[in-house]
């Protein structure tokens, strides 16, 4: 059935070009992986800052591997590992003082799964008198086994999670859906996952270095049993995700493209009719086995069609035998119980037709317009490349990840009882981040976070100084200066706001002029993680720079929202302070957990705040024309900038400007516009009451 057609090199090269056009090439692949690994490091550094280092979070799956495209809409597999329950393979690995879980693998357990026996925390012995309950089961031999439902227990894990996994839907283009899984970690690979380390195929893959690394990654255990097993509630699935990520990261671009094509075939030609009975993980195991059994020279661009046919042929045989062995744990049959006799012949027929079509079937793939793009390539017509979009969304998501991390640390700060306590916590943040011991991407991640913490510490100190001395110390200004280049505008606007509050108007003017000069409206994208907003298509200048640079470019092309916590209130102009008191008691009851991270703060997008501060500064300097120009730009920004996260706040400060202009009718108009955007938790209610009271009193 499987033959090599003569035109294969030509079709393979055209197909490789099409995949490169939609973002599947080496450069985009490396940029994507770097962005996700940086996000992973940023989150785990944040856990350490918040003294929650018993959590470790990993990003797995297609998004972090770079094995997806914009049209595939792949989700992100996010694994949250709790260190509070260490899993061990041998009693000699027992750790005193904590609840150890001994991994048990015997003939009664399904391949790829295990049982977990609970051991005492004072000795490597089993419990004597504990009985079965919601989370534990005592078997006939006296072993106290942990049920996989323990993953829902907040007390055991340190956080609350319902079920072994939960999903979070992406809210905007470029934002993927999250499939979150909680797991426990074992530092050693179990024996059934070590056999492949001693095997060597024709392709000399995996290499000795890869095997050595994988042998040190250990494994995770996930709280889900084998479907239909008599021990389903007690079994834990063994996950070798770290080793699999290493293998994926060491595939060449042709192997990656072959895997993506297999997934496109599943998504468009097979799974829609058969309820996803064939998974992408099956395709991954098929690919690994093919790479192991073939020489490296086979996997080249001008042979892509043959590579794909080989993988599909192995998948075809697996379906015939209803056995797709897990690459690292071959005894684990990924197809067990998945394919019913009714659908099996139909899937085989489709696969056979695809293989025999010698590439023609690919023209029917609508995902990312692959088929139509390939057809145009044969007519030497070059469709528009979309690869640049991938880089842009990845870097924007990284900026949002940094913003979200800062929001969580700021929320922790707001729990402080005194300003002095807040300062000490911030100093600890700065010290920990500055002295972060790890290298590589962890060091890069810490350097991305450090300037933000310096600016926040400087701003809190400045607020204390202004309250006590009506000026700002040199130490506070020095800390703020260390973070001036976090992004295009937000930290500079904090400095300008502080200078305005201590009546250093000329200096504030200079900072605002420099900020406006750097804020290129054709390039800079607003960044706000306070809540999900639907982001409009990204600016061309932004996407172009993202395509050619990594995370270092974020300081030139992003503008985060400006956030003042209550402990920074003296750094905030009076007009913006009302935002810290936006919520009535009823409003607070209607907040979400995410709202609580920022709604007691004054938060405003950088661009409207820039023009607002310019308006206030020019009022003080008596520059009427420039003041009116700033007011016009503020109005234009609110009307035309699509990606504002806090448009209601921008409308509120515009209303205050209109009050200052003695245009009460316009002020009320803008306050009501603000209320139309956010009915609850909106300071516009306060502004309306004050303004109406003033109008009534003036008439009286």
User: What is the pLDDT averaged over residues 75-93?
Assistant: 90
Nearest-CA neighbor of 37 among 521, 539, 442, 589?
442
Distance CA(636)–CA(611), nearest Å, equals 10
Least-confidence region, from 88-97, 590-599, 621-630 = 590-599
Give the Cα-Cα-Cα angle 329, 335, 337 (nearest 5 degrees).
125
Distance CA(455)–CA(458), nearest Å, equals 5
CA distances from 326 to 288, 289, 317, 398, 606 (A): 10, 9, 15, 32, 50
Kindly list the domain boundaries of the chain, sorted by start residue.
Answer: 1-22+251-385, 75-250, 388-560, 573-700
pLDDT at residue 147 is higher than 70: yes
- Would you say 698 and 590 are in contact if contact means Cβ atoms under 8 Å apart? no
- Would you say 691 and 659 are in contact if contact means Cβ atoms under 8 Å apart? yes
Sign of the alpha-carbon torsion through 237, 242, 246, 248: positive
14-59 pLDDT per residue, tens: 999 999 999 999 999 999 999 999 999 999 999 989 888 888 999 9
pLDDT at residue 160 is higher than 80: no
Least-confidence region, from 8-22, 161-175, 560-574 = 161-175
CA distances from 516 to 146, 507, 509, 593 (A): 60, 14, 11, 35
- Would you say 55 and 82 are in contact if contact means Cβ atoms under 8 Å apart? yes
Q: Choose between 126 and 438: higher pLDDT.
A: 126
Does domain 1-22+251-385 correspond to CATH entry 1.10.1410.40? Answer: yes
509-532 pLDDT per residue, tens: 999 999 999 999 999 999 999 987
Distance CA(432)–CA(451), nearest Å, equals 13
Residue by residue, DSSP assigns 510-568 as HHHHHHHHH--TTT-EEE--SS---PPPPPHHHHHHHHH--GGGHHHHEEEPEEE-GGG
Helix 440-469 and helix 474-481: axis angle, to 10°?
150
- Would you say 79 and 221 are in contact if contact means Cβ atoms under 8 Å apart? no
CA 430 to chain centre: 23
User: What is the pLDDT averaged over residues 656-682?
Assistant: 96
What percentage of the chain exceeds 70 in pLDDT? 94
What topology is assigned to 573-700 in CATH?
A: 1.25.40
pTM score, whole prediction: 0.90
pLDDT-based confidence at residue 321 (cuts at 50, 70, 90): very high
Distance CA(66)–CA(543), nearest Å, equals 18
Distance CA(163)–CA(153), nearest Å, equals 10
CA end-to-end span of the chain, whole Å? 95
Per DSSP, the chain holds a count of helices (H) and strands (E) of 27, 14
pLDDT at residue 355 is higher than 80: yes
Amino acid 164: pLDDT? 40
Residue by residue, DSSP assigns 338-407 as TS-TTTHHHHHHHHHHHHHTTTGGGGG--GGGHHHHHHHHHTT--PPP-HHHHHHHHHHHHHHHHHHHHH
438-463 pLDDT per residue, tens: 678 999 999 999 999 999 999 999 99
Q: Choose between 593 and 623: higher pLDDT.
A: 623
Residue whose token pair is 């003033």:
694
């Amino acid at each position: 059935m499987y033959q090599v057609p003569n035109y294969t090199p030509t079709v393979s090269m055209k197909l490789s070009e099409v995949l490169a056009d939609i973002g599947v090439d080496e450069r985009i692949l490396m940029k994507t992986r770097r962005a996700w690994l940086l996000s992973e490091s940023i989150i785990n550094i944040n856990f350490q800052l918040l003294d929650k280092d018993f959590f470790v979070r990993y990003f797995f799956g297609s998004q972090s591997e770079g094995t997806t495209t914009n049209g595939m809409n792949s989700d992100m597999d996010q694994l949250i590992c709790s260190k509070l329950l260490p899993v061990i393979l041998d009693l000699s690995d027992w750790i005193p003082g904590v609840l150890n879980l001994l991994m048990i693998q015997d003939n009664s357990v399904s391949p790829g799964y295990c049982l977990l026996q609970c051991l005492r925390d004072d000795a490597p012995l089993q419990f004597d008198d504990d009985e079965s309950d919601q989370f534990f089961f005592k078997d006939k031999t006296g072993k106290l086994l942990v049920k996989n439902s323990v993953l829902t227990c907040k007390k055991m894990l340190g956080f609350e999670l319902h079920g072994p996994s939960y999903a979070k839907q992406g809210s905007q283009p470029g934002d993927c859906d999250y499939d979150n899984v909680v797991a426990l970690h074992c530092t050693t690979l179990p024996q059934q996952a070590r056999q492949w380390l001693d095997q060597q195929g024709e392709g000399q893959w995996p290499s000795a270095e890869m095997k050595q690394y994988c042998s040190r990654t250990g494994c995770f255990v996930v709280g889900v049993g084998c479907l239909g097993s008599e021990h389903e509630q007690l079994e834990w699935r063994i996950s070798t995700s770290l080793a699999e990520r290493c293998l994926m990261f060491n595939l060449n671009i042709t192997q990656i493209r072959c895997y993506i094509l297999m997934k496109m075939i599943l998504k468009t030609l097979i799974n829609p009719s058969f309820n996803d009975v064939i998974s992408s993980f099956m395709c991954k195991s098929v690919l690994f086995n093919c790479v192991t059994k073939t020489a490296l020279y086979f996997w080249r661009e001008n042979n892509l069609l043959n590579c794909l046919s080989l993988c599909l042929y192995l998948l075809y045989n697996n379906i015939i035998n209803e056995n797709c062995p897990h690459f690292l744990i071959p005894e684990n049959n990924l197809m067990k119980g998945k394919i019913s006799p009714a659908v099996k012949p139909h899937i085989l027929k489709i696969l056979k037709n695809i293989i025999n079509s010698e590439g023609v079937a690919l023209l029917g793939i609508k995902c990312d317009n692959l088929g139509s793009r390939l057809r145009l390539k044969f007519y030497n017509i070059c469709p528009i490349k979309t690869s640049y979009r991938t880089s842009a969304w990845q870097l924007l998501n990284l900026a949002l990840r940094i913003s979200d991390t800062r929001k969580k640390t700021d929320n922790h700060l707001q729990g402080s009882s005194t300003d002095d306590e807040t300062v000490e916590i911030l100093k600890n943040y700065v010290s920990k981040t500055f002295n972060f011991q790890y290298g590589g991407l962890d060091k890069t991640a810490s350097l991305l976070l450090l300037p933000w913490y310096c600016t926040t510490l400087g701003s809190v100190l400045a607020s204390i100084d202004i309250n006590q001395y009506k000026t700002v110390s040199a130490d506070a200004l020095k800390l703020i200066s260390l973070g001036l280049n976090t992004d295009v505008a937000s930290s500079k606007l904090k400095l300008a706001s502080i200078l305005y509050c201590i009546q250093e108007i000329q200096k504030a003017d200079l900072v605002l002029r420099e900020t406006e000069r750097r804020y290129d409206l054709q390039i800079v994208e607003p960044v706000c993680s306070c809540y999900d907003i639907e982001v409009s298509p990204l600016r061309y200048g932004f996407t172009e720079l993202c395509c050619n640079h990594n995370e270092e470019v974020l300081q030139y092309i992003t503008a985060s929202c400006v956030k003042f916590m209550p402990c920074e209130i003296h750094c905030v102009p009076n007009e913006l302070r009302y935002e810290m008191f936006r919520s009535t008691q009823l409003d607070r009851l209607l907040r979400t957990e995410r709202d609580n991270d920022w709604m007691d703060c004054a938060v405003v997008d950088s661009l409207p705040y820039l023009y607002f501060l310019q308006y206030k500064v020019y009022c003080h300097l008596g520059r009427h024309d420039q003041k009116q120009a700033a007011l016009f730009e503020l109005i234009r920004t609110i009307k035309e900038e699509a990606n504002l996260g806090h448009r209601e706040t921008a409308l509120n400060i515009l209303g205050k400007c209109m009050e200052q202009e003695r245009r009460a009718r316009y002020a009320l108009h803008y306050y009501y516009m603000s209320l139309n955007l956010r009915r609850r938790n909106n300071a516009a209610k306060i502004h309306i009451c004050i303004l109406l009271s003033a109008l009534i009193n003036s008439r009286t």
